[in-house]
Amino acid sequence: MRRCYFDHNSTTPVDTRVLDAMLPHFGEVFGNASSLHAFGQKARLGVETARRQIAAQLDCPARDVVFTSGGTEADNLAVFGTVRASPQPTRHVITSQIEHPAVLNACQQLEMEGVDVTYLSAGTNGLVSPSNVRTALRPDTVLITVMHANNELGTLQPIAEIGAIAKEAGVPLHTDGVQSFGKVPSSVDELGVDMFSLSGHKIHGPKGVGALYVRRGHQLRKVQYGGSHERDRRPGTENVPGIVGLGAAATLAGRDRAAEAERVASLRDLLERLVLDRIPAAHVHGAGSPRLPTTSSIRFEHVEAEPMLIALDLEGFAVSSGAACSSGTVEPSHVLLAIGLSRAQAKSTLRFSLGRQTDAAEVDALVDALEAIVDRLRTLSPAWAAAS
């Protein structure tokens, strides 16, 4: 049975060219990148090359890129590092209700430390309103953190507009760019951000490595303690193979970005058109908003996502639900609830995320399987019978 992968927003397979770049750093180039001898300096060359490769995609100076263990650490460093560095006696943070848990849970921890946090709603279109950001500003606001692209909906937030507001108010702006980096343009100056988080495994690079762009002059307190690595912002011996892989993946993503975005967006549109044409009571979330080319969130009324996901997996299709499993209990997605869906609607949503390997034949096969599965599950649904 051919298996088709439609969960690229969760993780991506490592590109063979990325793996080829990494392999020497598991063997012959084994030195500690902080050592002064030749072995260490050969490893350091790999790290600094990767730093330049990432900076080229962000259109920023290489020295402003800080390597981390992934997107979560990058988000935590940006949020905790900025707020805890502020000398203000009271501190206020603005974020949104549709952020990744790496930001939301960090903000909840800050609240436990006495920081006031405003969680802005998103409209039914999946977008945070810049005017709401402006309204939420206070004299003691020390950070705005709004993601660049939502991981469930794919909606691209108006970061450049929010950036202009932040700059006018003199408040630093962080954006979680883990889903957007390598898929859409991410010039930090054009976006107007002071910090930008990214991760390797979303762009066909390795897991366990990421980076945070920090604008020069921005005050950031480190959240880990040890050596003075990464300009004393992130201690710990560098993950040289991972960093080299991240740099290679960033270069490949940037080189192919425009053509790949056009190709994948056409497949996403094909998927949505076929679903809407062939499956009754299906709804695409955020369809009218700017979105990542890779992402489609679709609701199927009166059928739960979990049995759909399992049935699709048995047919050879890997997709994701809009719900997060925690301690054996499936809870509705906080993102879908934040854009106004009911709990039942949120639990009837699947996320399809396309990538480098996706082709039209896979999309056709997915819709064939999906149509049969939804029809079968709806015959078992009292709610569907009552609505029909």
E strand map for the chain:
4-5, 65-68, 92-96, 116-120, 141-145, 173-176, 195-199, 210-214, 282-284, 295-300, 317-318, 320-321, 324-326, 329-331, 349-353
Query: Can 325 be counted among the known catalytic residues?
Result: yes
Tell me how far apart the alpha carbons of residues 251 and 22 are, in angstroms, rounded to a whole number: 14
For residue 165 the two structure tokens come to 């507001």
Residue type, 54: I
Burial profile 123-156: b = 16 or more Cβ within 10 angstroms, e = fewer: eebbbbbbebbbebbeeebbbbbbbbbbbbbbbb
Tell me how far apart the alpha carbons of residues 295 and 289 are, in angstroms, rounded to a whole number: 12
Determine which one of 4, 60, 107, 325 is catalytic.
325
Q: How far out from the chain centre does Cα 100 lie?
A: 8
Tell me how far apart the alpha carbons of residues 362 and 268 are, in angstroms, rounded to a whole number: 11
Phi and psi at residue 101, in whole multiples of 5°? -55, -25
Alpha helices in 68-196 (DSSP H): 71-85, 101-112, 130-136, 159-169, 188-191
Give the three-state DSSP class for 85: helix
Checking DSSP bridges between strand 195-199 and strand 210-214, what pairing results, if any? antiparallel
Q: How far out from the chain centre does Cα 264 lie?
A: 17
Checking DSSP bridges between strand 317-318 and strand 329-331, what pairing results, if any? unpaired
Q: Which residues carry out catalysis?
A: 325
